[in-house]
Amino acid sequence: MPRTKQPTPDAAALLAECAVDYYSGTGKGGQNRNRHYNCVRLHHLPSGLIALGTEHRSQAKNREDALMRLSEKLEALNYTPPPRKPTKVPRGAVKERLDSKTRKGVKKTVRKRVTNDEGAD
């Protein structure tokens, strides 16, 4: 599936941080696939991430594709979710919790042993 997103402007800087490896592809594709080094493997040295570009016939498009994949992986690696804003507990939830505690308390008092207080003279 081809990617529509363009490489970032700092693609040259990103490429400078990578070890680039070109190799011949595997699978169907015939002579062009087997004889030419069209596939690209980018190894980002600072992070250790690896991105492959193998979908296109040209080495340049595969390198672009691998750069896109690598930049997406780096964005995902550097993503931090925004801090959660705590919300107030709804009044209905507080009432429900207190009612539940009352019901359980009544249930436990009913379980207690019945004592005969009248004959304690």
43-66, pLDDT tens digit by residue?
Answer: 999 999 999 999 988 899 999 999
| Block residue for tokens 């539940």 | 100
Of 54, 70, 74, nearest in space to 62 by CA = 54
pLDDT at 66: 95
Closest by CA position to 21, among listed 74, 66, 56 = 66
Architecture of domain 11-78: 2-Layer Sandwich (3.30)
Give the DSSP letter of residue 115. -
pLDDT at 1 over 50: no
Query: Span 4-22, mean pLDDT?
Result: 79
Q: Is the pLDDT of residue 77 over 80?
A: yes
More confident call, 88 vs 4: 88
**Predicted pLDDT of residue 30:** 79
Domain ranges for the chain? 11-78
Tell me if 41 sits within 8 A of 21, measured CB to CB.
yes
User: What is d(CA 44, CA 7) in angstroms, rounded to the nearest whole number?
Assistant: 16
- With a cut of 80, say whether residue 85 has pLDDT above it: yes
Q: What is the mean pLDDT of residues 8-13?
A: 76
pLDDT number for residue 113: 86
